Structure 1
Amino acid sequence: MKYILLICCLVCLGIQSYAQLVVRIDEDKDYIQLLEKRLKESKTDSAKAINALRLSYFYKKYQKMDLSKQRLHQGVALAKGHRMMEGIAKYFEAYSVLGTEDLAATDSRLISSDSLLKDIHDPEAKKYQSGVWIIRGLIKQLQGNEKEGMKAYINHALPLAIESKDKFSEGNANKFVAISLLNANERVKANEYLKRALQLFQEAPSESDLTKLEGILEVNIILAENNLHLNELIVARKHLDASYDVLKNYPNSNVFLFYYYPEGVYYEKMGKFQDAIHSFDKAIAFQSGRTENFYINRAKFAKFTTLKKIGRNNDAIAVMQDLLKSSTLLPNDRNNYSNLLAQTYAKVGNMREAYNWSQKYIQVSDSLHSAGFKKDLLDLENKYRSAEKEKQITQLRAEKQAAELTQKNQRLWVWLLAVGAAVFLLAFLYLNNILKNQRRTNEFRLKEMDQERELQVTKAFLEGEDKERQRIAQDLHDGLGGALSGIKMKLSGVQTNFQSAEIENSVEQLDRSIVELRRIAHNMLPSNLLRSGLEVALKDLCTALSNHHTQIELQTDGLSQNLNQHYQVNIYRIVQELLSNALRHAEANHILVQVIQNEEQVLITVEDNGKGFDLDHAKASNGMGMSNIRNRVNMMKGNLDYDVMPGEGTIVNIELAV
């Protein structure tokens, strides 16, 4: 399961998760009273606005929704006329509707906030702008776009938090980068960001001691869980103990729900299976006012795997059946759990249920852990590190230039010589650049001429090929076809005088030979193309190639009767070759052919719902079919594009100039 569901329960932002839980140790009544006092005593609208907006956040965190809305409206009204405060107010508006409004609408509010804050060089503005990008990244993750989420955190939220010099914001941004790396299974790299986040939370000054404790507690629990995955059990135990030292003072805190899971995993890895099951049971029993959520579900799954490990398969089956009733499971998790339940039923010998659950299993690859996804996130993280090093290099350069400027008067003669040398160098480079450009221009013209010659050769070859096809087709039809027809007529005459089975078989064979000969001649150059035009020829082609396995649908529009006959032959041959490839290899039951003319452009699309193919392999093999299509497209100065979807089909798009 992805860590995105854990990070939705932000300490500093109070964002609600997929399971609608908010990390909360206890209600910070003292800090709320302090904010209410400041709101009442503040002299300026800006000061009143920020206190009202902060109160709206805390009231929502503690489920006092009427007070939260009241303070939000008050803060928004007081912020009007002050650009920075309007941007901060937009941020709090977005936070207030997160989880209750369409994600795209929430993101629109955040974009407005970012637009208002981005040109304001104030640490407070940068702090809230960092928060904007954290929620934007979270929205991208909730929409399934992990890469864009990582971009938001590492390219925007973290640099802005550093610029704000607010340690709590910087710690929060580091935590989000770490969790994106955890989603890519890059646990060692994630640990670096988590340790940095923990250090920053510990060092950060805070008016709300509980908020600071919640930040430290959350990172400690994530570090414990991550180190368990890395089999660093001693380090994991240290973070579990640090978490419990805080939690034992708050026995009603819902953070125990997050704590029990890594505690159970720790016991399971230590071989203390009963203790592990007991920890998972405590998490499952911790409903937090709701019947199901992500944290309870993953505790159930951990209990299932532990029961299987100690051979209690029937108990494990009961747990998994209960888990599969959850409406909050991700599709990939539900599929995998169905498969695991089928395997467990098979272990206890209940093959009927094993078969039933195996039928519900659909194997779906988890894109979150694919090599491409991991590479994208690691590239983003490496780019961020490179950018940080570049900043340091730039800073050192600036310091060096400042030192040089202090000695400018003493080295004036050196600069004069340097200017002269620079002028000479620039002149040399300018002349050299002119020569290079001239050489490039000549090379380009030569290349263009070679391409034109190649096109002419291809055109001549294809025209010659079509003429030869026409000649052979005519000879076959008029010569050999006429001869065979004459033989048939003579045999038919003989048959009337002599009733012979051999003669009757010979006549039938001649009939089939004549039909086959006409089909071959028609394929070499269909007479209906010359007689009735391209549109009719294409209709006849699609009708002739359709069979009980594959239906071919033709759609045409705007085909001109005055189109150059050679272009008509070319288009016909291209469609014929594409259909031949699809029928031979695609295993499709439906092929759609579209041929549309728009003034001096012809658009061809051939789409099938078959199994697709390996495009790179097909190009490397340089088969005659693809080569002929490419040559005809090039001759008409067109573009050819293959869109291959393995298991779903192939779309070929061609644009031709006529």
Structure 2
Amino acid sequence: MPVRRITFIILLCSCQIWGYSQNLAIDSLKRELKKNLPDTTRAKMLMQLAVLYETVDTSQSARIYEEAIRFARNKKLPFETANLYFNRSFLFQAAGKYDEALHSLDTALFFIDQSSHPNTAFKKAQIVSQLASVYKELNQYEISIEYHLQSNQLFEEINRPAGLITSLLNTAVLYKELQDYTRQEFYARKALSIARKTQNKDDLLIAYTYVAHALSEQDKVKDAKVYIDSAALYINNYHQNQPIALLNYYLIRGSIFLQLNKLDSSFQSFKKAYDLSQNQSAFGRYQSLLQMGNVRRKEKKFDEAEKYLLEALEGINKTGELAQKNIAFQYLADLYEDRGDTKKALEYYKKYKSISDSVASLKNKNLATSLEKKYESEKKEATIKWQQKQLENQKRLIYMLGITALLFATILLLSYRTYRQKQKIQQQRINELETEKELSAIKAVLKGEEQERTRLAKDLHDGLSGMLSGIKYTLQNIKGNLIMNPENQQALERSIDMLDNSIKEMRRIAHNMMPEVLVRYGLDTALKDYATEINKTGIIKVIYQSMEMEDKDMDQTTAITVFRIVQELLNNVIKHAQATEVLVQVFRQMSKLVINVEDNGKGFDVTLSKEMGGMGWKNIYSRVEMLKGSIDVHSAPDKGTFVSLELNIE
């Protein structure tokens, strides 16, 4: 007698929590729903409550679904409404109300297309996948295949590997029922390929299991054993609160051992499937009993086999599931034949043959109907396309004339835009040349000013300073050689002191006009020295900070320009700010120099300063413009002043 293969249903979803913990969840949700909740939260909690009641009280579950759907629709929550219709379809499907399930899923599609929720695409893929499952239950395999393929595409587009794996395995099972084992293996292996990339242990267990199933259906038992052993590697890591995949694993494992004639191992696998199916899956429970009975028949333990098979048949009669009833009748016919009870064997064989023929006829009839509908649809589409082509031929001349006119207008528009663009470019170039001319003039003026400063500083230092020092030396000699009365002696000493102060003041003026330290040691040292000199006067405290200024080569003209800007800013602080402290920060950023000057003085109105600024501010703005930089001034009465400059130094 050939080995009977098992019909499997993939239920890759979280299982319900049963018993006491479920009652606790129901009570908790009821308490929460008495509170004032946001609309979306209330809709989600009502759906959770309805799902929990599905396995406790289906009529109560249906009432809660109705209440939740009315609430979500009244509150205009399209995503939540779609999700409620989607979940309610499982309640209808479990009760065998497949038309109601289809209506619920079609409504779910309608609302999900109106949703802008982030998970809209994922939910739509789930709805399409469930539609495929319902059409399979209705034996409308052509439509089911189309929905499965659409579901696969949707999950792939949104990059949801777990959902795609589930959809691919559902597709594989559908082809198994159509006895197309090659395609069954193709989709199972495709799911396994994705699972290997994601390395999700749950997905690997499921995918290896269903590749093994596909191979066993093709009598490639040794290969199937390799894949079911690979699935066994992930058993210990599988989520135990989702036993459907484990149930299927043990059913398929038992079937493979049965094909290998390892009856004890086969029975133990079916027994584990039976234990897992308690309070979880009626299908798994009856299928386990059928296979346990079949194994015991092969072991010649006829009484035990009869017990298992009759118990399974009793349960199957309550569900009305034809595929399992057909297996039960066949196994009972085989049992009684082996036992020598030809009368009962013939009775159950007739029942098996009757259902087998009716199921095959039903599948062929529905498949033929689907193909006819598809043919009629394609015929109508061809007629519509022919009519559309005729209309296109009639309108083609009008379109060509319209396109010609549009092209002519476009050429005119482009020509006009090109002309205007050339004018703009020319004007922009003129403006740039004028700006460059102004900058050149500013540079020339500033350069001439610095050259004159340098000449005057040199003349003061080398000429007048030397002369005054000679006069001081002569007066000191006179003081030592002449005998004078005390009054003349005192007057001479005051004159020498005044001369000494004049020399120092002259040297300070010369230093400010062209600091020697700037030329010899660079900008950073010159600014530090300038700050130190101001601090010595006690007029104001200058805090100087610099970063990234060490050993940096800078054009001397640029360095002098920067020094003058800082010098003018500090002079403004000393003259006008009435500040006690000023912070100067100088640092480089790539090809830019950033300068920040901040004081704690009385501040001023920035708007008025721009409109009525003196020569000092004008000189600052001119030098900044020459360096193609920018200046930002922040100040207000009694709040101090902050000046930030960004200058191009390369």
TM-score by length of 2: 0.44
TM-score by length of 1: 0.44
Larger Rg: 2
